[in-house]
Structure 1
Amino acid sequence: MLKNKLLFAAAPLALLIAAHPAAAATPPAEGDEAMPGTPAAAPAKKPSARPEDIIVTGVAIGRDRLDSATSTSALRLSDIARAAPRSVAEIFRNIPGIRSESSGGEGNANISIRGLPIASGGAKFLQLQEDGLPVLEFGDITFGNADIFMRADLMLDRVETIRGGSASTFASNSPGGVINLITLTGEREGGALQTSFGINYKEYRTDFTYGGRLAEGLRFQIGGFYRQGTGPHRTGFDGLRGGQLRGNITKTFDSGYVRLSFKLLDDRATSYLPMPIRATGTDSDPKYQNIQNFKLNRDLLLSPYIPRNITLDENNQFTADNMQGGHHPKEQAVGLETRFSLAGFTITDRFRYAAISGRFISPFPAAVDNAGSILTALGGAGATLAYASGPNAGQVISNPAALNGNGLLARIVIFDTKLNSLDNATNDLRASRVDKIGGGDLTTTVGLYRARQTINTAWLWTEILTDVRGDGKTALIDVRNAAGAPITQNGFVAFSANSFGNCCRRRYNLDYTVTAPFGSLNYHFGRISIGGSLRLDTGTARGSVSGSDLGGGRIGLVTQDMNGDGVITPAEQKVAILPLGSPAPVNYDYSYLSYSAGIVYRLAEPLAVFGRYSRGGRANADRLLFGPAVRTTDGGLVNKAAAVDFVRQAELGVKFREAGLQLNLTGFWASTAEQNFEATSQTFINRTYRALGLEFDGGYRVGPFSLTAGATWTHAEISKDALHPEFVGHTPRRQAKLIFQATPQLEHGPFTLGANFIGTTSSYTADSNQLKMPGYVTTNAFVTYRPLTRLLLSLNANNLFDVLGLTEAEDATLPANGIVRARAINGRTISTSLRLDF
């Protein structure tokens, strides 16, 4: 198996360290190799370059940002903690240029960068990494987005980002950029224990970390968290349950180091999908307001009264799945990292194998309407309603128009997806050396990247009928026709996605492999640094898919007695199955070349200008299937171009750093090709986008006051569309003209207080450019008090003013009934924590 081959490839490098202890001409100092993203020892730092000014992600070697022709930034854990993020997606909101729609709960966020599109979901053009290796090879696996498997805790040292630039050549499938979460590795002796809890919501959490020396040249770090509670949304049950444990041990030698690491993640977090909100006014000037007894940024159509999803599993056998599972990521990972010097080269090898599985289950409202309309549509004239669950189970609803004060019902498709395996094995081997040539330094880097990504998932969707009530009290509803015969069965409209044409009973069993040799040259002489890099990605897609969506006479709907009572109801006449006897093969190869070239000129010690042009690719994974791009007969590509989407980018920037002031301004242009599929709208996409804009980030510190800020102005448009030419010239959905963030902070003795402002201007809900979502600004406030050197008390308010900030909506225009299905950022959540350092 490839994972074994990769392990065998990495293991000899660890042995070389012991075999060649004197090979390093200039051995790294203790702690220099503590930057996990660094493929080679960083060059000597200029006096003005602080440790936080050295970037190690998405570049050949760690170097001062002023000498790098890239746009980069870093967030330290101490800065992150003050903003009280409730997920990693909320951390990403504070990175300039990043559009992070942090409304999915603990995961399932839509993330993009510099105007690159979010045509479906996840992070397609942006790679999410931990310690320099991707969490998943593809960041937008359907119902398996990479951020679902990421948790921030006290093991986190910093978050580094590279936007555009060389990201496309120093990582696969990352033409837009890389976000890298870097962990502690025991350089600092000691640890911390922190306990926190929600004040106006239920969550109890304990974090810890500890690290230090075990012996001469041997150090370790271990940490993690455990938590439980309902979370920011009111569901009536503990949707947050679980935690994470990870650690590493590092042995240093004269010629380098070897590091072993592990990660154990088993966590449940309620998944937030679009929910109903009332809208009035016009498409261009809508007024959004909460529905009576249902608050969009605090409620979900979930409760203890909807305990299980009754369905058939991937083997067409009866099963009852826990509706309270939400995202349930499970990961067991082990990593090996080495660095040493050999024959003048600094060699770094990183390997990780991760066994990943879990579940994604959450309600999606396919339709929300007044009870009378839905009742008539399902049961005909004279039909009646009754509660199917909860304290009023069996009770007839005599006045549907007054139900819960809003008179609404929801037809909900349950997105029940088993993540049987998202296992991946990754190895990144690279070698760098610096040669003195012609009065300058020539840095040469060569490398080889290999990865294998499994996608083994099953979609087991069904449809239920509920009332629209928040506060964790949503109940299932039954319908009977005028003759009293049941139309639904215990709240189930169908044991299929009936509102979606009974589609999407699917099974994916796929393996993707990636092999990518890469190299770069960078010549630094005087005030000028010029360089370029290449990467050749070749990949394979092998496996099979099953589902009636494939056509060819495959049956996807049967009649089956789901409750075994011997009576077939209308709901039991719509039971979705997988046509297991007629899978379609997936069998194709692809390859693409990425390149990047840039130049930076150091005008003065504090000032530099740079320019860069890049082309990078992103291989399409599971979202390419069940569409017109792949033949169902032999699994080959109808059009080879469909396998890869390209991003071409140009950047011009200026950087300034002096004393307590840092300023960076970058102009960018990007052209993006996209082929995709969106599960919720059942829509295929084949188009090209164009974006240009300005990105600013900076910081200022004087005495006890500090300010960090960032803003990105973007003009983006759809430049070509093969399926909807009427969209050409339109702004891509959910793309705002301006996004921004700012964090002022004041320190006075043992007190620190400040605020974190995050804002966006308005955007369109859909590519048709009709219905708008208004802009908003949220305020996260914090105050900390340190009564003792090792004791820290903090109080944080996330979205202090309870702003209703919409991030997406399913409706392209105002519906006739005024009910829009949308996702919003969390409402106001206030938490407090106590941290003890030791």
Structure 2
Amino acid sequence: MSLRTVLLATAACLVSAPALADSAETATSEKHSAAKSTPAAKPAAFNTGVAKGRDLLDTAISASTLDEADLAKLGTTAVAGIIGNLPGIRAETSGIDGFSSLTVRGLPLAADGSKFMQIEEDGLPVMEFGDIHFTSADQFVRADIGLSQVQAIRGGSASTFASNSPGGVINLISKTGEEEGGAIQLAAGLDHDLKRVDFEYGAPLGGGWRFHVGGFYRDGEGPRHVGYSAFRGGQLKFNVTRQFANGFVRIYGKYLDDRQPNYSFFPVAIGGTNASPTFASVPGTDVLKDGAQSQYTSSYPGVDQANRPDLVNGREGIRGIVKSIGVEAQFDVGEWTISDKFRFSSIGGGYNEAIPFITAPAGALSVMIGGPGAVLRYASGPNTGQVITSPSTLSGNGLLNVGLHINTTVNNADNVTNDARASRVWPLGNGKLTTTAGIYTSSQNLDTFWRFTQDLETVASGGSATRVDLITAGGVPVTDGGLLAYGFGIAVPLTSYHRRYDLQYRVTAPYASANYQVGKLSIGGSLRFDHGNVKGQLFGVDLDGGRVGTGTLDLNGNGAISLAETKVALLPLSQPGNVDYSYNYTSYSVGANYRVAEPFSVFARYSRGGRAGAERLLFGPALNSSSGKLNDPSVAYSPVKQAEVGLKFRSNGLTAYVTGFWASTKDKNFQIGADATGQVIVINVDRTYSAKGVELEADYQHGPFSLALGATYAKSKIDKDTNDPTLDGNTPRHQPSLFFTARPQYEQDLFTVGATINGTTSTYAQDSDILKQPGYVLVSPYLFVRPVPRVQLGLTAFNVFNKLAFVNLSSAAIPASGIINAQTLNGRTISASLRFTF
């Protein structure tokens, strides 16, 4: 290890700081002194995905909690990044909200989003389906210092106490003002431009009333160089609670309007072998600091959902807009506990992504598209109009790419949910029987519009990539302001994925559970019946029926039609496809827990759940777009079977949970992949998967020292692929054998020092199991310094050793070009913070 590395690590440890909050809400002295950030003991009762909260050692489930103090030490405020620190949960994210892939216990990452886990906020789902294309659940939820806990249940009763969540439930729980106090936190990047302010305050009001309010705002370019302010926005949340002798009523609301850049693919040089590849940044760029976005390519003409010309603003990035209001009530009525949760969320926003679709030497690409003798000329940026006389030295690397720009408008993703339940504890023999019955209803709208555009761009750093015009040797412009086509136009049919969805999903799910506890033994089971109804319309050429969706349109308004303007993808507005089908599935879970001794218990559980398919079913062979019915009703949902057995121990500062698991599922889906040349392809998925393994969660505390550890070992397999039998027996892409997180810490009254360490073994880039995607270990140290009461200073240092950590490699094998598109985690990112607690 070099002296430079040691010095950087030491400096980071001395100047690291929290990203969120630093003290447990339940300790008034800590609230007012900003003293220790050591987490208090985990709460005795766990309430997410179960019938009734109880001590985890008395329940036959696998569950975890990150409390307020834990959240401060993870080095990220991105929801997927936070979730990835929970045992058993695999999170692929580049540090932003809205372009992540989440799964649990080896279940497949067949696409982006979270298919088999439900993300909840205060006990209700953010979106009914977590993997809607370009509209995933984490786009519409944020973490700030008003967050009290993150609770997670994996497998088990998640199948029966929430819909569409057979793999697990993640619940972000807000503070509710039990004790008076608040905080203001200012944070800023030291090696990047990002400024953020968080605040929260809550207090009892007397007469049984209490409240809490909090939120954040941020602004700046961010940790990657894109040439403009890519982060902008924030959220405001509030709740008011009226406590009664036998229960409470709570009203709460949220306003979120936040945009972030989309750190998607970027070109990187690749060498070595498929089994042991080597990587380097393309000359003139830094894959850890640059992005595909640019100040000179972020705006471009397009065609809107009414087939009219308009202008796309790619600087909107991934934008989530949420206005929600909810009511929660719980009362003891006689021997019964009655509760109800209701929320309405008005949801909108948009999605923008820039992808280097094809990257090649500028001279070769110009000949391939424009023919011999074609001329290149700058179409945007400071050199607009100038001829590129030396393509081989362009931007210091001589490369051009056919860029793919994706723009999605979320017109309406409104969500209405209600969950009502009643529980009672009955004396029975020498034990007690707890019964619960409830009904869950939801309505999820999905009105979105997709459009894709292709252009020619340079490969440059610092957000300085520019568009390039291509003119044939005969003087005919192939491009229009650098744009090749208002659709795909290159390598993929022009009209592919130019779509609009206008749908409504309704879900009704009655459920019930019973748990009998006698002495040290608890035996229980639960049952849920999901009924769904889907209605609406689809617009797109790639429906069955021979729809027309191309045309000529003067998009730049100059009165002339360019070659690119003859390649315009249009919606067949007079030829909608219909959606009108329903589905049903039953979920169940049975388990037993035995409290061997006060500090030790063992459990076993078997569950069967389901996940209804959302819009990924609708363009393709699954749907008859004339009748609106599914051609094969079995594709309406994916069944998930799970078995788990584990032990739990808690004594003398040590808590350890070890669980062995097996899971299997059928999945009919489609995913964006790549072939051996790196060419992007869409893969129709019709598979069965299985996974088995073991997960560990442990906490140890001895005096000022503590260690939190989570690790998951899993072996996943494609059991059968109906469309491509050569994949049978392969390991699914992006599924490591081992992934882990560790958080060692030392704390005194004046300071807290520690690090969050995240690691994963290698995976396969694609399901063909050819190209290895390297594993990594990232170290993110932190230090909290409390020089005076109520004040805390520090810095965070994410990925302090600046490791190259891959999230996604686009090719199935090393391409002949030696250039591959890669999505990576951010490089070293250091931020300072000042927190005042009152």
The residue identity in structure 1 corresponding to 2:702 is V
The residue identity in structure 2 corresponding to 1:661 is L
Deviation at residue 51 of structure 1 after TM alignment:
5.4
Q: Is the 8 A contact 2:687 2:720 kept in 1?
A: yes
Specify the alignment match of 1:501 in structure 2: 493
Separation of aligned partners in 2, 1:721 and 1:466:
38
Specify the alignment match of 1:670 in structure 2: 663
Specify the alignment match of 1:414 in structure 2: 405
Q: Is the 8 A contact 2:265 2:292 kept in 1?
A: no
More divergent stretch after superposition (560-569 vs 417-426) = 560-569
Separation of aligned partners in 2, 1:155 and 1:54:
21
Separation of aligned partners in 2, 1:435 and 1:153:
41
Q: SS state of the match for residue 236, structure 1?
A: coil
Q: SS state of the match for residue 641, structure 1?
A: helix
The residue identity in structure 1 corresponding to 2:561 is I
Specify the alignment match of 1:448 in structure 2: 439
Specify the alignment match of 1:118 in structure 2: 109
Specify the alignment match of 2:508 in structure 1: 515
Separation of aligned partners in 1, 2:717 and 2:284:
39
The residue identity in structure 2 corresponding to 1:480 is I
Specify the alignment match of 2:790 in structure 1: 790
Q: Is the 8 A contact 1:87 1:107 kept in 2?
A: no
The residue identity in structure 2 corresponding to 1:558 is G
Q: Deviations over 1:399-442 (max 9, x none)?
A: 11111121111111111000001100000001111111111110
Q: Alignment partner for residue 195 of structure 2, among 193, 201, 204?
A: 204
The residue identity in structure 1 corresponding to 2:533 is T
Q: SS state of the match for residue 107, structure 1?
A: coil
Q: Deviations over 1:439-469 (max 9, x none)?
A: 1110000000000000100002111111001
Separation of aligned partners in 1, 2:190 and 2:588:
50
Q: SS state of the match for residue 726, structure 1?
A: helix
Matches within 5 A, 1:142-157: 142-157=133-148
Q: Is the 8 A contact 1:126 1:178 kept in 2?
A: yes
Separation of aligned partners in 2, 1:549 and 1:374:
29
Specify the alignment match of 2:825 in structure 1: 825
Specify the alignment match of 1:700 in structure 2: 700
Q: Deviations over 1:790-834 (max 9, x none)?
A: 111121101111111001122111111011111111111001111
Specify the alignment match of 2:625 in structure 1: 632
Specify the alignment match of 1:292 in structure 2: 283
Separation of aligned partners in 1, 2:312 and 2:220:
21
Instruction: Say whether 1:581 aligns with 2:544.
Output: no
RMSD: 1.3
Instruction: Say whether 1:607 aligns with 2:600.
Output: yes
The residue identity in structure 1 corresponding to 2:58 is D
Q: Is the 8 A contact 2:509 2:530 kept in 1?
A: yes
C-alpha spacing 1:710/1:104, structure 2 compared with 1 (3 Å): closer
The residue identity in structure 1 corresponding to 2:506 is T
Deviation at residue 106 of structure 1 after TM alignment:
2.8
Separation of aligned partners in 2, 1:408 and 1:356:
40
Deviation at residue 523 of structure 1 after TM alignment:
0.4
C-alpha spacing 1:50/1:741, structure 2 compared with 1 (3 Å): closer
The residue identity in structure 2 corresponding to 1:730 is N
Specify the alignment match of 2:364 in structure 1: 373
- Unaligned 5+ segments in structure 2 are 1-24, 27-39, 673-679
Instruction: Say whether 1:141 aligns with 2:132.
Output: yes
Separation of aligned partners in 2, 1:119 and 1:57:
26
Specify the alignment match of 1:718 in structure 2: 718
Separation of aligned partners in 2, 1:643 and 1:272:
32
Q: Alignment partner for residue 546 of structure 1, among 539, 555, 559?
A: 539
Q: SS state of the match for residue 401, structure 1?
A: helix
Instruction: Say whether 1:230 aligns with 2:198.
Output: no
Deviation at residue 90 of structure 1 after TM alignment:
1.2
The residue identity in structure 1 corresponding to 2:464 is K
Separation of aligned partners in 1, 2:257 and 2:336:
40
The residue identity in structure 2 corresponding to 1:794 is G
Q: Is the 8 A contact 2:81 2:95 kept in 1?
A: no
Q: Deviations over 1:681-737 (max 9, x none)?
A: 322211010100010010100000000001100100000111111100000000000
Q: Is the 8 A contact 1:83 1:781 kept in 2?
A: no
Q: Deviations over 1:64-117 (max 9, x none)?
A: 000010110000122111222141111112100111012162321101110000
Separation of aligned partners in 1, 2:298 and 2:749:
51
Specify the alignment match of 1:326 in structure 2: 317
Instruction: Say whether 1:362 aligns with 2:353.
Output: yes
Specify the alignment match of 2:689 in structure 1: 689
Instruction: Say whether 1:56 aligns with 2:52.
Output: no
Separation of aligned partners in 1, 2:800 and 2:258:
27
TM-score, normalised via structure 1 length: 0.93
Separation of aligned partners in 1, 2:95 and 2:306:
30
The residue identity in structure 2 corresponding to 1:135 is V
Specify the alignment match of 1:565 in structure 2: 558
Q: Is the 8 A contact 2:264 2:292 kept in 1?
A: no
The residue identity in structure 2 corresponding to 1:826 is N
Q: Alignment partner for residue 185 of structure 1, among 151, 176, 196?
A: 176
Specify the alignment match of 2:590 in structure 1: 597
Q: Is the 8 A contact 1:549 1:626 kept in 2?
A: yes
The residue identity in structure 2 corresponding to 1:486 is P
Q: SS state of the match for residue 338, structure 1?
A: strand
Specify the alignment match of 1:390 in structure 2: 381
Instruction: Say whether 1:246 aligns with 2:240.
Output: no
Q: SS state of the match for residue 365, structure 2?
A: helix
Q: Is the 8 A contact 2:793 2:834 kept in 1?
A: yes
Q: Deviations over 1:494-535 (max 9, x none)?
A: 011223321111000000000000000000111001100000
Deviation at residue 175 of structure 1 after TM alignment:
0.3
Separation of aligned partners in 1, 2:242 and 2:557:
61
Separation of aligned partners in 1, 2:725 and 2:287:
34
Specify the alignment match of 1:3 in structure 2: none
Separation of aligned partners in 2, 1:385 and 1:407:
12
The residue identity in structure 1 corresponding to 2:358 is A
Q: Deviations over 1:152-177 (max 9, x none)?
A: 00110010000111000000000000
The residue identity in structure 1 corresponding to 2:727 is F
The residue identity in structure 2 corresponding to 1:733 is R
Q: SS state of the match for residue 788, structure 1?
A: coil
Separation of aligned partners in 2, 1:425 and 1:498:
40
Specify the alignment match of 1:473 in structure 2: 464
Larger RCO: Structure 1 or Structure 2 (Cα < 8 Å, ≥ 6 residues apart)? 2
- For this pair of structures, how many residues does the alignment match? 792
The residue identity in structure 2 corresponding to 1:71 is S
Q: Alignment partner for residue 57 of structure 2, among 47, 51, 66?
A: 66
Q: SS state of the match for residue 358, structure 1?
A: strand
Deviation at residue 343 of structure 1 after TM alignment:
3.7
Separation of aligned partners in 2, 1:487 and 1:764:
38
Q: Is the 8 A contact 1:104 1:273 kept in 2?
A: no
Separation of aligned partners in 2, 1:564 and 1:419:
26
Separation of aligned partners in 1, 2:268 and 2:176:
46
Deviation at residue 751 of structure 1 after TM alignment:
1.0
Q: Is the 8 A contact 1:69 1:612 kept in 2?
A: yes
Separation of aligned partners in 2, 1:725 and 1:307:
42
Deviation at residue 675 of structure 1 after TM alignment:
0.9
The residue identity in structure 1 corresponding to 2:393 is A
Specify the alignment match of 1:741 in structure 2: 741
Q: Is the 8 A contact 1:83 1:796 kept in 2?
A: no
Specify the alignment match of 2:14 in structure 1: none
The residue identity in structure 2 corresponding to 1:389 is S
Q: Is the 8 A contact 1:106 1:270 kept in 2?
A: no
Separation of aligned partners in 2, 1:236 and 1:82:
30
Q: Alignment partner for residue 99 of structure 1, among 72, 76, 90?
A: 90
Instruction: Say whether 1:801 aligns with 2:801.
Output: yes
Instruction: Say whether 1:528 aligns with 2:538.
Output: no
Separation of aligned partners in 1, 2:338 and 2:288:
49
Q: Alignment partner for residue 118 of structure 2, among 124, 127, 134?
A: 127
The residue identity in structure 2 corresponding to 1:121 is D
Q: Is the 8 A contact 1:58 1:166 kept in 2?
A: yes
